[in-house]
Amino acid sequence: MRKILTFLSIMATLVLFVACGNSKPAEGEQKKDGGEKQVAQSADVKKNIAVVYSTGGKGDKSFNDAVFHGLEKAKAELGIKFSEYEPKNAESEAKEALEKFAETGEYDLIIGVGFTMKESVMAAATAYPDQKFAIVDETITGLPNVTSLTFKEHEGSFLVGALAAMMSKTGTIGFIGGMENPVIQKFEAGFAQGAKYINPNIKVLSVYIGGSNAFNDPASAKTKTETLIQQKADVVYHAAGGSGAGVFQAAKEKNVYAIGVDSDQDDIVPGTILTSMMKYVDVATFNIVKDTLEGKFTNEHHEFGVKENGVGTTDFKNTKDKIGEANIKKLEEIKQDISSGKIVVSPTVQGK
């Protein structure tokens, strides 16, 4: 009896050895040459995305909303789910929000929106090296788990600056920025260059809202816009996020033109808003989510300009008759010249 049991035990061991020796990696796994298992991208994809918005959050009808629309498209077309955090103060709250998302390990990608997120994204990405991050409107280098999405705002702003000069009757136009920094100065720089391309003698007045709530302070924006109008500005362009609502209100009340930014804001005050400088953050957001899910995530810096269809204008649906066919044709020519490199737009403001 003991011999029979011993024989059966040996046979069972041999069967187990053969089975293990011929086993294949489980679905979604690959074996390295050394025998270690590496989880493949397809098995690791959770289709969960997290986003920390910039100051003002959703509903700004501008920058944050563009990111949201990109995520909504990814939800509809790629089947993702996404979690959101809307900080009152992005600089002070972002790091904790990003790290709370990262520590769960549940997200394929975590997106930080806006240039104020740079330090926070860098800190979170360093603390969680296996978590993929994307930052919109800033550049982070040296971290393999962070990709950067930026735009040539100066090129799109050149187009709307040219339009402003075409439409101005006083020879004076205005620019309202949120916070004075290199990113927002790109809007100012392009706007001034585009205006002077059309009219070298045009006067461009610039002012910044500043403060701790620069991108969500419509009251201050309205007051500053009224001041520009008093100085004869009859077209005012803003790069101030949610504060832009104050620009539009002042423009409507004083019967001058305004120009929107980031998203299509033309319908907020139809006829008063000549166009919006479109910054296709929604497209960039969708594309980076798609790339991540498909295993194509890299830590490259992606920059989108006129040539890449990353910035531009709306189709003037409410103001086509006011602008006129000749001016629209001229804008198209300028767009082609920027794309071809015939017109080179500087991202910096002269004297700053």
Do residues 131 and 125 touch, judged by C-beta distance below 8 A?
yes
Q: CA angle at residue 273 from 271 to 278, to 5 degrees? A: 130
Half-sphere exposure of residue 37: CA atoms within 13 angstroms, side-chain side: 9
**Element of type H or E holding 150:** strand 146-151
Q: What is the reported pTM?
A: 0.81
Do residues 121 and 98 touch, judged by C-beta distance below 8 A?
yes
3-state SS class at 120: helix
The one-digit pLDDT tens for each residue of the chain (352 residues) are 444 444 444 344 433 333 333 333 333 333 333 332 222 344 478 999 999 999 888 988 888 999 999 999 999 999 999 999 998 887 789 999 999 999 999 999 999 999 999 999 999 999 999 999 999 999 999 999 999 999 999 999 999 999 999 999 999 999 999 999 999 999 999 999 999 999 999 999 999 999 989 999 999 999 999 999 999 999 999 999 999 999 999 999 999 999 999 999 999 999 999 999 999 999 999 999 999 999 999 999 999 999 999 999 999 999 999 999 999 999 999 999 999 999 999 999 876 6
Assigned token pair, 176: 């309202």
- List CB contacts of 16: < 8 A, sequence separation 6 or more: none
Nearest to 231 by CA among 165, 168, 174: 174
Assigned token pair, 140: 């982070």
Alpha helices in the chain (DSSP H): 2-21, 41-44, 63-78, 90-104, 118-127, 153-167, 182-198, 218-230, 244-254, 281-293, 320-323, 325-340
Print burial letters for 202-234: b (CB count within 10 Å at least 16), e (below 16). bbbbbbbbeeebbbbbbebbbebbbebbeebbb
CA distances (Å), origin 168, targets 152, 173, 256: 25, 7, 9
Q: CA angle at residue 61 from 60 to 62, to 5 degrees? A: 85
